[in-house]
A and B are shown apart, each in its own frame.
Chain A
């Protein structure tokens, strides 16, 4: 099953050609890890999938992105973002309580019932492995949590919207190794229910959690293959160079 089918995708920000002639697919219920040095287009690729790029003033694109066989640009913007959740690089709780952070998404599309919201919040926090740590203080500000807890809160907040896909944009870049391990553990378990695209600067993380791995360089997709293959016998010498730490 194919969740995203991307054909001839080009993206420009003003004169900068951020993505060049991208052709690739994201499969359902896989973890696709995306690696590459800075400015390789991997975040642009990720933000294309939930239509966040187009908020930049000088964004232009060509080509198509199909989500479940429908052109993503023909679907409603809010609808796309609801079905395709995103977890950002830094933990970004909203300036609300823990409960209100998780309930934010569901409230925005009209769930008012308190009991329903409470069960959504509990469910989401359990899936993100945060429930036990915060169940007694759901009313406190989300800023009181530690960095790792905040990031799992953000994952829970995304899950509360019940998306099909979760996009992770370097979710562990601000976290210590133990928090990172917890987030990775959560991701692997989530794979059962969701399609996951993970952009990461941490090559080892890509190897640990990915089913398939894509290597971007200078706005181009250099190689996309099974993670094992990428990390043991990559086709392209540039991929080999990057994962061995020769550049980037």
Chain B
């Protein structure tokens, strides 16, 4: 049979398109189902009230606040350390055995399942450092989980600043640190921010790392300090979906919708920053 290039091309394109469509469909379905079932639950009381009647009524305010605290704590811990490590790795570290070990460690850290982080957090922060199940322990555990994300994103952002800018800065008598501080960092900040926000989204959505380290099953009040337990959205969702009987469907989907909105909103912010930066980029 003679080959018809026109037709084989069409067949190939069809399958490629089908595969692409396959990615869109689940995302769309998840969104539609959750919005459809969850939207009726969303009202001011749901967002601002504490859970009542064994979480079958009332709101999810403590869980929202808990998640915000956790995310904030994680970022306060992970951003400075991650950024400094990234600067060291991309600007100062010589390519030797130690550096390679460190880079390998970061890659492996990114690959560790999140429940293992939870167990690690339990052993180190909750028990060994005696923080107890607390916002502090949960934040640190989440922080360690998103460290590799932040380091990788920051390194990429730093390394995307052209080498020639550094040479110019050095040739004008600026030291290496001055060059990083005044030329490299300002131009890498949008990329670092993007990575950080994506890390935040990840931290907000994870259940396993907070399971043993902070999450309260039912705590109808706001946490009082960093050493207090807290409710958090992902764990709350797990609890009302599997542990508490007779929770109305719309409350479950409403909770999922709030969590999804928070995470998607963070991703949206990251996308906007990246877009603006690309438009402004001048080299």
Chain A residues at the B interface, C-beta cutoff of 8 Å: 50, 52, 55, 57, 78-79, 81-82, 85-86, 88, 90, 92, 94-95, 104-105, 108-109, 141, 143, 154, 157-158, 161
Contacts and interface: CB of A to CB of B under 8 A. Distances in A.
B164 A158 contact: no
A52 B173 contact: no
Secondary structure call for the B interface:
helix
Q: Which of B172, B174, B283 has the most CB of A within 10 A?
A: B172
Contact of A85 (B95, B171, B182, B282): B171
Given A57-B95, A88-B164, A94-B183, A104 B170 contact: no
Contact of B171 (A79, A81, A90, A143): A81
A88 B167 contact: yes
A79 B170 contact: no
A168 to B, nearest CB: 12
A157 B168 CA distance: 10
A105 B174 CA distance: 7
B33 to A, nearest CB: 46
Nearest to B178: A108
Given A92-B167, A105-B174, A108-B175, 12 more contacts: A52-B170, A79-B173, A81-B170, A81-B173, A85-B171, A92-B168, A104-B169, A105-B172, A108-B173, A108-B178, A109-B173, A157-B172
A157 B282 CA distance: 19
B90 interface: no
26 contacts: A52-B170, A52-B171, A55-B167, A55-B170, A57-B94, A78-B175, A81-B170, A81-B172, A82-B172, A86-B171, A88-B164, A88-B171, A90-B164, A92-B165, A92-B167, A94-B168, A104-B172, A108-B173, A108-B174, A108-B175, A141-B282, A143-B282, A154-B168, A157-B172, A158-B172, A161-B172
Nearest 10 CB-CB pairings of A with B: A82-B173, A105-B172, A86-B171, A108-B174, A143-B282, A81-B173, A78-B173, A92-B168, A92-B164, A108-B178
A13 B223 CA distance: 60
Given A57-B95, A143-B283, A94 B165 contact: yes
B187 interface: yes
Nearest to B164: A92
Nearest to B174: A108
Contacts of A105: 172-174
A52 B167 contact: yes
A88 to B, nearest CB: 7
A158 to B, nearest CB: 7
Interface residues of B, number: 19
A83 to B, nearest CB: 8
A90 B170 CA distance: 16
A95 B175 CA distance: 18
Interface centre among A81, A88, A154, A158 (most CB of B within 10 A): A81
Given A92-B165, A143-B283, A161 B173 contact: yes
Interface string B166-197: 01111111110010001100010000000000
Contacts of A50: 171
A109 to B, nearest CB: 6
A85 B172 contact: yes
B182 A108 contact: yes
B171 A94 contact: no
Nearest to B281: A95
Contacts of A161: 172-173
Contacts of B182: 104, 108
A92 B175 CA distance: 18
Contacts of B178: 108
B210 to A, nearest CB: 41
B165 A95 contact: yes
Interface in B35-78: none
A95 B283 contact: yes
B169 A94 contact: yes
A47 to B, nearest CB: 9
Contacts of B168: 88, 92, 94, 154
Nearest to A85: B171
